[in-house]
Amino acid sequence: MKQQRSLQQSLWEENVREMDSTAVTAKSILTPCGFGGWSLNPYVGCSHACAYCYVRRRWNRMEAAESHVHPWGAFVQVKINALDRLRREIHRISPGEGIWLSSATDAYQPQEAQRCHTRKILEMLVDWDVKITILTKSALVVRDIDLFQHFRNLRVGFSINTLDRHAWQCIEMNSSPPEERLEALEILQREHISTFVFMSPAMPFITDFDTMVPVLAKRTRRVSAETLNLSEGNYAAMREAIQRFMPGREQDFWQAVVTRKWGNTIAKQFEPLCKQYGVRFGGFFRNECSRKKLKQMFSDDPIFDFLRENE
Ligand code: SF4
């Protein structure tokens, strides 16, 4: 319990950047998930501002269309009518279907510490026979363990793609540091909350499977991974992040991503590694991007000259 409080404390005291924090009225609160079930996003926007976040693509389009002034990562809007919407929409969920928190925000980003908005939503869901999956990068999630213990079917996933502090600082520095996420996993496990880890996005030079799998295997029962989902939406932020992370060697990173060599190696090694350390293998998902599309996206960027070699 003492450890639990220290984690919360560190988050509450975290020096959160100045955020545009407003309220918004949502037209609906449940969105059908591509992989089945429903997703529920208590907030619009996400102060974690991960460089690889592909939600920013949708936002950038909306921003252009609606003249928003804040770039992705610099605003958080609370969906003030979330509880009311949920009361009206809950009948859409069939028995056995699940709700995913969240697909386009982090339900436990630092603003949640003061607002308790996600907590209020979960307090309402506790009486429903619905499977809840939480995926977060925030150790704040341990605050709600007392509530999780009342659910029949709830699991908490941590998205962790590196244990390297320098990589974390370059790519997703507004989220909880990797060691706090590991500590939170330990606490959840001790409190008998079902957990999993999603190594997402796994990236060359950043995600070291050999080091991570044994560490994660001690703290959770299931591990899966996906590769970087590169698009026009996250490319510029990722380009900057990689420049910070490995200045002068960025091309090595991009070459490994684009030529798929690294992904092919991991595809062979990941499952045996999970078996070796006694953790369930949940899958390795490849987000592919065709050479043609990459060339279109990166036609002006000399760092991608290697794409045009041997043509
Ligand atoms: S935590 Fe998720 S939603 Fe938030 S910025 Fe990172 S990737 Fe995007």
For range 280-294, the mean pLDDT: 86
Predicted confidence (pLDDT) per residue in 16-61, tens digit: 445 666 889 999 999 999 878 999 999 999 999 999 998 887 776 6
Atom of ligand 1 at shortest range from CA of 54:
8
Query: CB of 222 closer than 6 A to ligand 1?
Result: no
Would the pLDDT of 13 be above 60?
Answer: no
**pLDDT reading at 269 higher than 90:** yes
**How many domains is the chain partitioned into structurally?**
1
Task: Ligand 1, residue 56: give the atom nearest the CA.
Answer: 8
How much is the pTM?
A: 0.91
Q: Which residues of 63-92 are buried (b: 16+ CB within 10 A; e: fewer)?
A: eeeeeeeeebbebbbbbebbeebbeeebee
Could you tell me the CATH number of the domain that includes residue 178? Answer: 3.20.20.70
User: How is 133-165 classified by DSSP, letter by letter?
Assistant: EEEES-GGGGGGHHHHTT-SSEEEEEE-----H
Q: Is there a contact between 97 and 38 (Cβ–Cβ < 8 Å)?
A: yes
Distance between CA atoms of residues 108 and 119, nearest Å: 9
Q: Of all atoms in ligand 1, which is nearest to the CA of residue 72? A: 5
Task: Supply the range of the domain harboring residue 196.
Answer: 2-308
The answer to whether the beta carbons of residues 187 and 7 sit under 8 Å apart is: yes
Q: Which two tokens stand for residue 36?
A: 């089945």
The response to whether residue 105 sits with its C-beta less than 6 Å from ligand 1 reads yes
Q: Which of 16, 44, 53 to mutate to test the pocket of ligand 1 (most atoms within 8 A of CB)?
A: 53
Tell me: the pLDDT tens digits for 248-267?
999 999 989 888 889 999 99
In short, whether 200's Cβ falls inside 6 Å of ligand 1 is no
Q: How far apart are CA 88 and CA 115, in angstroms?
A: 22
pLDDT class for 1, splitting at 50, 70, 90?
Answer: very low
Q: Which tens digits make up the pLDDT trace of 100-122?
A: 999 999 999 999 999 999 999 99
12 has a pLDDT exceeding 60: no
